[in-house]
Structures are given as structure tokens and as C-alpha cells.
Amino acid sequence: MNYSTLQLDLNDIQGDLLTGMQKHAELFLFFKIADAARFKAVVREYVVGLLTHGGTVQERDRIVAARRRRGGSGSGEMPWLGMNLGFTKDGLTRLLGPTRPQMDPAFERGADDPETIAALNDPPPSKWLRSFLADRIDAVFLIAGPDKFFVTSHGNSLRGRLGSAIKTVYSEIGTVRPGRERGHEHFGFLDGISQPGIRGLAPVSRPSAAPEQGLPGQDLIWAGEFVLGYPGQNPRDPIKPGPIEPLPAPWAKNGSYMVFRRLEQRVPEFRAFVAAQAARLGIYSELLAARMVGRWKSGAPLELAPLRDNPALGADENRNNDFEFGDDPFQRKCPYAAHIRKVYPRDDTGNEAEVQRHRIIRASIPFGPEVAPGETTTRHSRGLMFVCYQTSIERQFEFIQRSYSSDPRFVGGKTRPGGGAVTPGFDPIIGQAPSGGPREMDEPYPNYPAGNRRTTLEMPHQFVVLTAAGYFFVPSITALRTALT
């Protein structure tokens, strides 16, 4: 088969998967299917027509770009409705019965399964939000738009249509942060920079110089890593396609697995910790925070700005992701344990083809209020409604969390200047030790451009705490019209 001629069926793929819905606000509506027959009828007759697909997203992006070129006011705030729908394993069973096809093994276990909890070092569900666990969750609607009122109104309308067919278990709205913090998560760092480019979808910015990249530094990934029914990555070659994995059922084509994690961020505690540890190390707090993340708050990477922030670099999508880690063999610029180096080691392992098989597409949004004046300990829940898409939860999201972020030995095989093995430590942002125990990170102090000062950052507490989680299958539009309803 000539894979180069394969085209993504964007009109059949739900819109949040590959490009993303407009997300100035997003309502997460988790529910139980109380009346399966009634639910199926309403979805088939009404809901499917409202769902956002990839073709809609592309058209929206073209309209917004054209308005901006013409200098149209408010182009980014147009009232676009985005709506997607995903199901848990229990939800699929409610729709298809107990003899339904078996899906991804991690999906079938579920996010709250003891095996999953142990593998990821997650806190047990007994420590999650009680309201999230009030009843069985069968499915989730993602409803996105320009503001809270808009998504709330559409959510209420949807609930009215479905009536007694569903029972709402938990709902919460995420919003972008205000003013200059727009696009930044609650610790203050610009988010969403290093997304994979999708072959056949992402435009190539430098066709002659870098034909295998979208934006500079954005490696192109085969669509089968994120949407079922297409070729994925080749484990031996980062450019050639791998095989098309068998589908669990014909209707699974153009579907994807969604991981949801409600991550509460302890912002005042993070700030106080960074300030105290920076003073201990004799560096300024912004530098220590950047070394924990791997980027400055502006988005500028340490690999290109090792000692001082460069906001112009951080804001430039043609430069802020154009780097590898192979030119920093002794973590002088960026610590091995820094968040962005842990979750996406690029060429750090010496096997970039394998690294690319663990990519995910993130589609997250902050939630909760801004830190209030005088709030020195967390009084209000805030953080990130983390969402990512992939075709193998175990090989992609769980691998990153388990084998990268939470493995203190990764990246392995590294040495210090002059010799001596390095244990990088935990990802200080999302890495988790067993039972929530203490963590360490190697070399918070920068030995750049020279030096060999040995330092360790001891982190007795988590600054990012899991408070709810779920695994969902996001089916194609066709599946929702036919096989599932």
C-alpha cells in the first residue's frame, strides 16, 4: 500500500483529537447512562448533528485566520460551539452489551483500577474528589466555546434534550487564564508548545530544509499514533510508516482513546518552595523554576536560553521548539529531570524512532480561580483539566508517566563531566513516587557554561496532585450514527 496517498477522514474524526476545539471555556460533563434506549435515540437524532469534527475545526481556523489578516476585531472570540463525546468501558458495555469487542487493555482496566494506580503511583480513588466518584461514569461530553455562560447554556440545553436518559455525575468548567496569563497554566508557564505534527495535516514550514517537520523542531508523526485505522510510527525508523494496527471492531476506525486527569496545582506552595530553594542554592527563583520545567515562563526553552529568559524567543513558534537535547550531554543547559526533557526526550535516548512511538496530543485547559492576595497556602482548588489522545494508552500516556516522569533513573546511561553515572531523579512537575513519597531531582544549579557543582533538589511534597481520572474512547461520527446507537 502506498501510505503517502492515505488521507485522514477529518469529517468522521471528532474535532478535539487532531486540531482541537476553540477552548476559551470548556465544560466537562460526566454522566451515567440511565436509559440506554432513550440515550441512543437522542444521540442518533440530535446529538450527532451537533458534534464537532475535524473538518469543522479546519474551516473555523481558516475563517479566523482570514479575519485576523483583514484586521477584524474579536476574531478570536467568535461564538464557535465545540462538542465531543467519549465513553468509558462501562459506557460501551451499556451501549453494546457484555459481549462487546475488547478494546485497548489499559482502557479496559480503567484509570481507577488498582493495577493502574500502582503502575502510575497515583493516589488511590479514596483521595479523589468524592463527587467524581458519586456514581458510575459511562461517558463525558466536552462542550467548548468562548466563555462560561456560553458552554453552560449549551450544556443545559443538551441535558434538557437527554432528560432522564442520563444522570449527571460530575461537571466542571475550565477556562483560559486572564490577561497576560492567557495560554499559561497556573504555575505561570506557557503551555501547549511541543505538540506533535500530524503527517498529512500539519503544514511543512521548511519543505527544503526540514521536510520531516511541521513547524521548526516539530517532528511529523504518523496519524495511527492518535487515530485508529491509519499507519503508526515505525519502531526502527522515525520517518517510514509502521503497520496499521488491527481494529478491535470495524466501527473503531477514526476513533481514539482519551485520558482525562484533573490535576490540582498547589501554586502558593510551589512558589514558596522555589523561592526558599533558590535562596539555598544561590540562584534567582525564576531560574530554578525554569530548570524544574525546562522552559522559562515565556515558553523560551533552556536549551536555547540557558541562564536568562527571552520572551521574544518564547513567543515565536518558529523558534521556541527548534532544538534537540543531544547537544547538551551533561545537562549543563537543561537538567535531565526537567519536565519537558522527561516527557519528550527527543534525541536524548539515542533512539528517536522509539521515542516518537510514545507521543500524545494534549488538549488541556486550566480550571479554578487565580491565586488571591494573601493566599499563602492553597485555599481554592485550581489546576489543569489534562486531556490527551492516543491509540494505545499503555504505550503512550502511561509509558510517559510511568517510565519517563516517575522513573528516577530515566534518562539512563548519562554521565557527569569527567565521568560518573547520573541518576536524573523525578520529573518535579508530574513525576510521582510510590505512596506520594519524597522525590529528588539532580542538578538544580546550572553548571553552564562550565563547572561541576554537585547539587540535589529534595522535594518532600507533590505540587501537582491527581484528584480525578478517567479513560474514554472517542468514537467516529459514523460509529455514533450506526454501530453505537
Q: Which residues are catalytic?
A: 191
Compute the distance between CA of residue 247 and CA of residue 228 in angstroms, rounded to an integer: 7
| Cα 122 to the center of its chain, rounded Å | 17
Q: What angle do CA 377, 381, 384 make, to 5 degrees?
A: 115
| Cis status, amide bond into 411, omega within 30 of 0 | yes
- Cβ atoms of 373 and 481 closer than 8 Å: no
> What is the distance between the alpha carbons of residues 11 and 8, in angstroms, rounded to a whole number?
9
Please classify residue 113 by burial: count the beta carbons closer than 10 Å to its beta carbon, then call 0-12 exposed, 13-18 middle and 19+ buried.
middle
Residue 174 CA, distance from chain mean position: 14
Give me the phi and psi of 296, to 5 degrees please: -80, 165
- 220, 198 in Cβ contact below 8 A? yes
Separation of alpha carbons 56 and 386, rounded Å: 23
Contact by Cβ (8 Å): 191, 293: no
* DSSP secondary structure letters along 88-118: -HHHHHHHH-TTPPP--HHHHH-TTSHHHHH
- Residue found by looking up cell 500502582 in the block: 118
Burial class (CB in 10 A: 0-12, 13-18, 19+), 272: middle
Cα–Cα distance measured from residue 310 to residue 305, given in angstroms and rounded to the nearest whole number: 7
Q: What is the DSSP letter of 388?
A: E
Task: Tell how strand 220-221 and strand 233-234 pair up.
Answer: unpaired
Residue in this structure with the C-alpha cell 477529518, named with its chain if needed: 10
Q: CA–CA distance from 41 to each of 38, 47, 144, 162 (Å)?
A: 5, 9, 23, 9
| 452: its cell numbers | 561541576
Q: Which residue, 185, 212, 183, 216, is CA-closest to 199?
A: 212
